[in-house]
Amino acid sequence: MSASSGLPPRPSVGVSTMLARTVQMRGSHVGVIFGEEQRTWSEYADRVASAAGALRNLGVREGDRVAILSLTNMPYFELLAAVPHAGGIVVPLNWRWSVPELLDAVADCEPTVLLFDHTMAAAGRELAQARPEMKTVALSEGFGDLPYYAQLVADAEPVADAGRGGDDVYQLGYTGGTTGRSKAAMLSHRNVVSEATYCWAEGFLREDAVYLVNGPMFHAAGTWPSLSIIGSGGTAVLMAQFEPLEALKLIEAHGITETLLVPTAIQLMVEHPEFAAFDTSSLGKVLYGAAPITATLLDKASAALPHSQFIQCYGMTELSPVCAVLPHAFLEGEHRAKGRNRAAGRAIPAVQIKIVDENDNEVPRGEVGEVAVRGETMMLGYWRRPEETAEALRGGWMHTGDGGYMDEFGLVYVVDRVKDMIISGGENIYSTEVENAVASHPAVRQVAVIGIPHEKWGESVHAIIRIHDGVQVTEIEIIEHVRTQIAGYKTPRSITFFDGEFPVSPANKVLKRELRRPYWEGRQKAII
Amino acid sequence: MSASSGLPPRPSVGVSTMLARTVQMRGSHVGVIFGEEQRTWSEYADRVASAAGALRNLGVREGDRVAILSLTNMPYFELLAAVPHAGGIVVPLNWRWSVPELLDAVADCEPTVLLFDHTMAAAGRELAQARPEMKTVALSEGFGDLPYYAQLVADAEPVADAGRGGDDVYQLGYTGGTTGRSKAAMLSHRNVVSEATYCWAEGFLREDAVYLVNGPMFHAAGTWPSLSIIGSGGTAVLMAQFEPLEALKLIEAHGITETLLVPTAIQLMVEHPEFAAFDTSSLGKVLYGAAPITATLLDKASAALPHSQFIQCYGMTELSPVCAVLPHAFLEGEHRAKGRNRAAGRAIPAVQIKIVDENDNEVPRGEVGEVAVRGETMMLGYWRRPEETAEALRGGWMHTGDGGYMDEFGLVYVVDRVKDMIISGGENIYSTEVENAVASHPAVRQVAVIGIPHEKWGESVHAIIRIHDGVQVTEIEIIEHVRTQIAGYKTPRSITFFDGEFPVSPANKVLKRELRRPYWEGRQKAII
């Protein structure tokens, strides 16, 4: 029996109910710090109610979008709770995007209000001009002609919470556009609350955390930990954007206990010439994501941060975002000897992961297929894209587009993007594995491996290579080198030397579809 | 905007999806132990699929109730997952109930199948006779005329999971009947999954737990930790029922790390003459519930179990069941000096608690009102009781019936059942406080304090007392003693000496409504 219509409505958990609990338990605890400013959770909640009043005064009504184009700062952190309190949907815009990309996004989501800071003034003004029906607010002082956020909040009466929660949309998360025009994942209140509670269950972002928010707010790496800290009643220390020396200063100054870093950022920190001058002993947990950590970097980082556990988080915006975590134990001892440190992680609580073939049937343990995920953290769908939603969520599972396999511990190993896998003579070949082998040749500066059409094998392995300035190398030399690294059938059959820059996405990922296009004109690649 | 009907259906978390994840990650880990039997999670899941096949063969279809009348054992633990796997709803029956009470329950929930063990054979057979359309199965061997569970499972083919989850009913939990005929709380799959994840976030019942299931399965103290362990992939060690010496043996034999005990059980264990003979050092966490722990018992238990944290869990069946937890830190140091060890706890993750007056308005911090709770763990409602459901869940909050107040840490202190509070001359008087004062007189064996009608004050405080055999005491002596303990307005104005046993509920609670009845005939008590 399902809950029938005769039953009372279900309680509606959301960002506001999480904050209410935090204020109840931890009202006098310092909740957020940015530069010289700090607020207790009670002060934060008061600001949120007034900021929501200001948004209502600007015309924000139930379900309206409120777009934000700004580096991380105190008002941004307020808006994460103030927008839903006012009844709205948070739309963090990507400040790395070009103006045409931003214009596309605001045309897509039609925000009632846009807020931007001084660092985004030029783009913000262009958006305002292009979309005059949108109210525009400056988050920073000094834009005399525009309403100033802090003044609007000071002038506004606090308002009652709009009561959004459950399956109401909390946020539109525009996803990185390596596959054409960006689309926005609709994350519900239940999505983000579930994600927060599952992370607490995994042992991080809890009430005792002093968390350094260094990821941009337009990325889940910024919003997700921020919301989780709002829910747990820990402390969030904000950085406008990541910078290794500043991060070290903040770790020491505030006794940061946890932060999420991409491996490159870990490297920048531990290799920083002034690293040793800072006390980083408070940093008990380093979450990392976006890429597995290499054994070399792990060893270096572990030596530099002997008090830290390193915990990988794997996911994507559509999954709120983390769906798998690799506990520190898998980086050590027998697990490491067996290469389990290379795994992306295993399912977080109440989330399910399976590996499926092209017909969505689960493949046996150890075989490669597409990583599919479901749970309370799975997005509602893409904003105003029913077809892409139906495709991504077919069968009720989010199809990540990642190719991978699962071992006997439920650990998922990502081998490639599904669309970048090459099938040659019936064998699956993972472009990333081939790329690693090619890149180990000293002449190679950058490489992209793709499948190109082949009459007999379906596809054949092809490497596109940029070489270092002033070196000389032949196709044969590269191929012979690669053959010493990986199996013959994975070795490139052909090589192109590429001059100039590879085409990249706004998120700086190589656009392999652009590289593949000339070879596939008028044909259909086996897996897309 | 809410998730519109154009969006794909939401993923359906439930007991089956939790188990699937556990098998994926912890398949070869020992999941459950009972006596000499033990099963890995993979073995357990295989049994569950076959047991579900057996239930289908017995006619269990989507939404059918499957009632179980049994002490805790291996088949019971299997059925917790097998019943939903088959599409059914678990109905644990209270084996402390009389046959008429059990007959009431099966008439209420109309089970398709009843399973009972040898300890419940007499009652089981009576139920079977009274309800011939119900299939009856013996969980124990030796009932030649009845189908034997283990044989049915051995003969059945494993079946695919029915896919129940989300707002589908997982369980009917019959609640203790101090207020008339028992009613069943409908707990959904999302309820029990949410409860499990919140407990992991609070730090217990996680994958590293070796948990001693000592509470009866007809009570949430049995099912809730069992389901949480199924979800986390820890280990459950089962006891047929609590017995202090057996509990000590199991703690030592299996290295039990956590268990839930009522304070009385803690006392029975630590005061057991053979206590010192057992190694209890593995027991890192003692969860306790049903009553606050006295300082005396806490000190004694802490000395006996120096490695244990003591963590109070407060809740009720309708809340799946725990809604508040008192972390160990509140039992020590300044917190204890300020009496915070007497609190019931503070809201678990993503759950909200507020204290409301009789009009459901929140009262200021520190004032007494009724404890109201909401969140994903709140029951769907009472089975086939729309009026009682609407009353209990009015405004979307579960009204616990407990009177209490909240402090600046969000800690809830329960002072009395709301219906047992006395309002005299506009002052709230908590019967439990008066009872404690009366009970401190050495002549008093048992006492119940109630409000009786009073023309001027509305109610007046009245004590009903049983005295020890062979002692003599006057009304005046008692009242003078109480006046030295508590404020004058709380002191009983009148006393009745009671001969015989107080009327009690099946759960052994004194039925104050029975004691009040003669005084209130034809009148309306202020608070019911």
Question: Model confidence over A406-461: pLDDT tens digits?
Answer: 999 999 999 888 888 888 888 888 888 898 889 889 999 889 999 999 888 889 99
> Testing the interface with A: which of B40, B376, B411, B412 to mutate, by most A Cβ within 10 A?
B376
pLDDT in tens, A205-253: 999 999 999 999 999 989 999 999 999 999 999 999 999 999 999 999 9
CB contact under 8 A, B13 and A409: no
Q: How far apart are the first and last CA of chain B?
A: 40
Q: Cα-flanking dihedrals φ and ψ of residue A69, to 5°?
A: -125, 95
- Report the Cα–Cα distance between both ends of chain A, in Å, rounded: 40
d(CA A410, CA A421): 22
- Contact criterion met (CB below 8 Å) for B194 and B377: yes
Q: Which residue of A has its CA nearest to B191?
A: A10
- State both tokens at B282: 């593995």
**At CA A321, angle to CA A320 and CA A322, rounded to 5?**
120
Query: What's the DSSP call for residue B411?
Result: -
C-beta atoms of B3 and A188 within 8 A: yes
Q: Chain centroid to CA A107: how far?
A: 23
Interface test with A, best of B25, B388, B391 (most A CBs within 10 A): B25
Q: Which two tokens stand for residue A169?
A: 């949309």
Integer Cα distance of B325 and B323 in angstroms: 7
Tell me the chain A residues in contact with residue B385 when contact means C-beta distances shorter than 8 Å. Answer: none
According to DSSP, residue B70 is labeled: -
Nearest CA in chain B to A374: B11
The highest-confidence range among A180-189, A441-450, B289-298, by mean pLDDT, is A441-450
Average pLDDT (A134-157) is 95
Tell me the pLDDT band of B507, cut-offs 50, 70 and 90.
Answer: low
Q: How far is CA A514 from CA A177, A424, A430, A503, A520, in A?
A: 13, 20, 18, 7, 10
Tell me: cis bond preceding A321? Omega within 30 of 0 counts. yes
Instruction: Give the bridge partners for A370, in sequence order.
Output: A356, A403
Amino acid B97: pLDDT: 87
Closest CA to A363 of A327, A316, A403, A304: A403
Would you state the pLDDT for residue B8? 77
A528 has pLDDT over 60? no
Does residue B192 have a pLDDT over 50?
yes
Chain A: give the shortest CA distance to residue B92, in Å.
17
Yes or no: say if B68 and B55 are a contact pair by the CB < 8 Å rule: no
Looking at the DSSP bridge assignments, the partners of residue A355 are A371
Contact state of A1 with B197 under an 8 Å Cβ cutoff: no
Q: Count other Cβ atoms within 10 Å, centred on residue B410.
A: 21
Determine the distance in angstroms separating the CA of B3 from the nearest CA of chain A, rounded to an integer.
6
Q: In a mutagenesis test of the A interface, which of B22, B24, B385 is the best target, namely the one with the most A β-carbons within 10 Å?
A: B24
H-helix segments, B27-177: 41-57, 74-86, 99-109, 121-130, 149-155
Query: Which CATH code fits A12-21+36-187?
Result: 3.40.50.980
Flag if A380 and B169 touch (Cβ within 8 Å).
no
Q: What is the mean pLDDT of chain B?
A: 92
Q: Specify burial of residue B454 (Cβ count, 10 A radius: 0-12, 13-18, 19+).
A: middle
CB–CB of A197 and B381 under 8 A? Answer: no
Q: What pairing do the DSSP bridges indicate for beta strands B235-238 and B258-261? A: unpaired
Q: How buried is A125 (Cβ within 10 angstroms: 0-12 exposed, 13-18 middle, 19+ buried)?
A: middle
Confidence of residue A507 (pLDDT cuts 50, 70, 90): low
Average pLDDT over residues B176-202: 86
For residues B86 and B60, is the Cβ–Cβ distance under 8 A? yes
- For residue B241, give the DSSP letter: S
Distance, CA of A112 to CA of A123 (rounded, Å):
17
CA distance B184 to chain A (A): 14
Q: How far is A115 from chain B (nearest CA, A)?
A: 21
Per-residue confidence (pLDDT) for residue B1, from 0 to 100: 39
Is residue B506 over pLDDT 70? no
CB-nearest to A6 from B2, B350, B386 is: B386
How sure is the predictor about B482, in pLDDT bands with cuts at 50, 70 and 90? very high
Is 70 exceeded by the pLDDT of residue B171? Answer: yes
The residue written with tokens 């530099």 in the block is A304
Residues of B within 8 A of A408 (CB-CB) are 27-28
What type of residue sits at position A214? Answer: N
- C-beta of residue B117 within 8 angstroms of C-beta of residue B70: yes
Q: What mean pLDDT, rounded, does chain A reach?
A: 92
Among A7, A194, A380, whose Cβ lies nearest the Cβ of B389?
A7
Residues of B in contact with A169 (CB under 8 A): 1-3
Contact A1 B168 (CB under 8 A): yes
Residues of B in contact with A196 (CB under 8 A): 349-350
pLDDT bin (cut points 50, 70, 90) of residue A388 is very high
CB contact under 8 A, B350 and A17: yes
Lowest mean per-residue pLDDT among A77-91, B118-132, B165-179: B165-179
Tell me which chain B residues have a C-beta less than 8 angstroms from the C-beta of A17: 350, 352, 375
Please check the confidence at residue B263 and state whether its pLDDT lies above 90.
no
* Residues in B touching A346 (Cβ below 8 Å): 24-25
Residues A52, A56, A62: CA angle, nearest 5 degrees: 95
A378 and B349 in contact by Cβ < 8 A? Answer: no
pLDDT tens string A264-286: 899 999 999 999 999 999 999 99
* Architecture of the domain whose range is B421-520: 2-Layer Sandwich (3.30)
- Shortest distance, CA A327 to any CA of chain B (angstroms): 12
CB A11 to CB B350 under 8 A? Answer: no
Helix or strand run (H / E) with residue B413: strand B412-417
Q: Is the per-residue pLDDT at B3 higher than 70?
A: no
* Sequence spans of domains, chain A: 12-21+36-187, 421-520
HEC profile of B488-501: HHHCCCEEEECCCC
Task: Among A14-28, A39-53, B3-17, B57-71, name the one with the lowest average pLDDT.
Answer: B3-17
The per-residue pLDDT for A491 is 93
Which residue on chain B is closest to A24 by alpha carbon?
B410
User: Under a CB-based contact definition with an 8 Å cutoff, are residues A321 and A328 in contact?
Assistant: no
Q: Which of A8, A13, A169 sits opposite B376 (nearest CB)?
A: A13
Q: Mutate one of B10, B110, B167 to test the A interface: name it (highest A CB count within 10 A).
A: B10
- Amino acid B143: pLDDT: 86
> Quick one: CA torsion of A329, A331, A335, A340, rounded to 10 degrees?
120
Tokens 């593995």 appear where?
B282
Q: Which of B102, B99, B134 is nearest to B115 (CA)?
A: B134
Closest residue in B to A87 (Cα–Cα): B1
Q: Do A375 and B231 touch (CB under 8 A)?
A: no
The pLDDT of B144-159, averaged and rounded, is 95
Cβ atoms of B229 and B205 within 8 Å: the answer is yes
At residue B251 the predicted structure's pLDDT band, cuts being 50, 70 and 90, is very high
Nearest-CA residue of chain A relative to B200?
A201
Residues B397, B377: contact at Cβ < 8 Å?
no
* Range in A160-174, B444-458, B507-521 with the lowest mean pLDDT: B507-521
Residues of A in contact with B386 (CB under 8 A): 6
**Chain A residues within 8 A of B394 when measuring between CB atoms:** 8
Q: Specify whether the CB–CB gap between A510 and A503 falls below 8 A.
A: yes
Beta carbons of A352 and B231 less than 8 Å apart: no
What pLDDT score does B244 carry? 96
Measured between CA atoms, the residue of chain B closest to residue A186 is B3
Considering CB atoms only, which of A2, A8, A18 is closest to B168?
A2
Res. A22 pLDDT band, cuts 50 70 90: very high
Nearest CA in chain A to B87: A1
The alpha carbon of residue B513 is apart from the nearest alpha carbon of chain A, in Å, by 29
> Are the Cβ atoms of A24 and B89 closer than 8 angstroms?
no
Nearest CA-CA distance, residue B453 and chain A, Å: 36
Q: Quick check: B3 and A380 CB within 8 A?
A: yes
Note whether A350 contacts B193, CB cutoff 8 Å. yes
**CA–CA distances in Å: residue B308 to residues A224, B109, B327, B328:** 34, 41, 12, 9
Q: Is ipTM over 0.90?
A: no
A·B CB contacts under 8 A: 161
C-beta separation of B179 from B304 below 8 A: no
- Give the one of B20, B166, B396 whose C-beta lies nearest to A8's C-beta: B396
Chain B residues in contact with A396 by the CB 8 A cut-off are: 8-12
Kindly report whether the peptide bond that precedes residue B321 is cis, defined as omega within 30 degrees of 0.
yes
- Render pLDDT for A328-384 as a digit per residue (tens, 0 to 9): 999 999 999 999 998 999 999 999 999 999 899 999 999 999 999 999 999 999 999
C-alpha A139/C-alpha B258 separation (Å) is: 50
The pLDDT of residue B293: 75
Q: For testing the chain B interface, which of A15, A22, A24, A188 should be mutated: the one with the most B CBs within 10 Å? A: A24
**Nearest of B225, B195, B194, B188 to residue B210 by alpha carbon:** B225
**A68-97 pLDDT per residue, tens:** 999 999 999 999 999 999 999 999 999 988
A11 vs B contacts (CB less than 8 Å): 352, 374-376, 378, 396-397
